[in-house]
Amino acid sequence: MKKHLSIFLAFAVIFSLFLSGCGTTTPNYRVDLEIWGLFDDSDVFSKAIGEYQKRNPRVREINYKKLTVDSYETDILEALATGNGPDIFLIHNTWLAKHKDKLVPVPTDNSSGNPVEILNARQIRDQFVDVVSADFVSENQIYALPLSVDSLALFYNRDLLNQAGVTRPPETWIEFDEAVKKITKIDSFGNIILSGAAMGTSSDVGPGEGKINRATDILTLLMMQAGTEMTDSKMGSAAFAEFSGAATGNEMSPGESALSYYTKFSSPYKKEYSWNSLQHNAIDSFTEGKTVMMLNYSWLIPRIQSRSPKLNLGIAKIPQNKLKDKPGISVDFANYWGLAVSKNKVAVQEDLQRAKDNKVSYATNDQRVAESWKFLRYLTLPPSFSQDLPVGATEDAVNFDPAKGYVENQKKPAARRDLIEAQKSDPLLGPFVEGNLIARSWAQPDNLAVEKIFDEMIDDVILRNESPREVLRQGQNAVNLLMRK
Contact 90, 59 (CB under 8 A): no
Tell me, yes or no, whether 206 lies in a domain: yes
- In the chain, the amino acid numbered 461 is V
Looking at the structure, tell me whether residues 71 and 173 fall in a common domain: no
CA 475 to CA 456: how far, in whole Å?
A: 8
Long-range contacts of 78-84, Cβ-Cβ distance < 8 Å, separation of 24 or more: 80/342, 80/344, 82/346, 83/344, 83/345, 83/346, 84/345, 84/346, 84/348
pLDDT in tens, 43-73: 999 999 999 998 898 898 999 999 999 999 9
The answer to whether residue 112 scores a pLDDT higher than 90 is no
8 A C-beta contact, residue 114 and residue 123: no
Same-domain check for residues 66 and 188: no
Do 119 and 242 share a domain, yes or no?
A: no
Closest C-alpha among 171, 233, 263 to residue 465: 263
Residues 414 and 274 in one domain: no
Q: Residue 92 is part of which domain span?
A: 27-149+336-419
Degrees (nearest 5) of the Cα angle 317, 166, 187? 115
Residue 16 pLDDT > 50? no
- pLDDT per residue as tens digits for the range 412-450: 999 999 999 999 999 999 999 999 999 999 999 999 999
pLDDT for residue 17: 37
Per-residue confidence at 24, pLDDT binned at 50, 70, 90? Answer: very low
- Which of 238-247, 267-276, 356-365, 395-404 comes out lowest in average pLDDT? 356-365
Domain assignment present for residue 220? The answer is yes
Contact 33, 62 (CB under 8 A): yes
Pairwise pLDDT comparison (389 vs 352), residue with the higher score: 389
CA dist 480 and 485 (Å) reads: 9
Average pLDDT for residues 374-392, to the nearest whole number? 90
Alpha carbon distance 130, 144 (integer Å): 14
- 145 occurs within a structural domain: yes
**Do 474 and 410 have their domain in common?**
no
Average pLDDT, the chain: 88
Residues 213 and 277 placed together within one structural domain of the fold: yes
Coil/strand/helix, residue 342: strand
How far is CA 229 from each of CA 168, 220, 224, 403, 474, rounded to the nearest angstrom?
32, 10, 7, 33, 16
Angstrom CA distances, 256 to 229, 263, 305, 445, stand at 12, 11, 36, 22
Q: pTM for the full model? A: 0.89
Beta-strand relationship, 116-117 and 108-109: antiparallel
For residue 18, name the pLDDT band (cuts at 50, 70, 90). Answer: very low
Amino acid of residue 43: D
183 vs 401: CA distance, rounded Å: 45
Same structural domain, 129 and 49: yes
N- to C-terminal Cα distance for the chain? 73
Question: At 397, is the pLDDT very low, low, confident or very high (cuts 50, 70, 90)?
Answer: confident
> What total of structural domains would you count in the chain?
2
Mean pLDDT of all residues in 106-111 = 86
Whole-number Cα distances in Å, 450 to 37, 100, 232, 253: 23, 18, 16, 20
Residues 243 and 99 in one domain: no
Task: Answer yes or no: is 3 within a domain.
Answer: no
Please indicate, yes or no, if residue 478 is contained in any of the structural domains.
yes
Residue 284 is assigned to a structural domain of this protein: yes
Q: If pLDDT is split at 50, 70 and 90, which confidence band does 349 have?
A: low
Asked if 145 and 159 sit in the same domain, the reply is: no
Residues whose CB falls within 8 Å of the CB of residue 78, separated by 6 or more in sequence, listed in order: none
Angle at 232 between CA 227 and CA 237, to 5 degrees: 125
Give the residue from 280, 308, 301, 267 showing the smallest Cα distance to 426. 301
3-state secondary structure of 37: strand
Give CA–CA dist 100/213, Å, rounded.
Answer: 28
- 401, 419, 437 - which closes a domain: 419
Residue 177 and residue 158 share a domain: yes
464: helix, coil or strand? Answer: coil
Say how many C-beta atoms besides its own lie within 10 A of residue 96's C-beta.
20
Distance CA 456, CA 188 (A): 31
* DSSP structure class, residue 152: -
Q: Which one, of 224, 331, 200, lies nearest residue 276 by Cα? A: 200
- CA dihedral in degrees (269, 274, 277, 283; nearest 10)? -160
- Phi and psi angles of residue 361, each rounded to the nearest 5 degrees, phi first: -85, 145
Alpha-carbon dihedral 119, 125, 128, 132, rounded to 10 degrees? 100
Same domain, 236 and 318: yes
Q: Within a domain: residue 6?
A: no
The answer to the question of residue 16 being in a domain is: no
- Grade residue 250 by pLDDT with cuts at 50, 70 and 90: low
**Residue 121 shares a structural domain with residue 166:** no
pLDDT tens for each residue of 115-129: 889 999 999 999 999
Q: How is residue 114 annotated by DSSP?
A: S
CATH at 99: 3.40.190.10
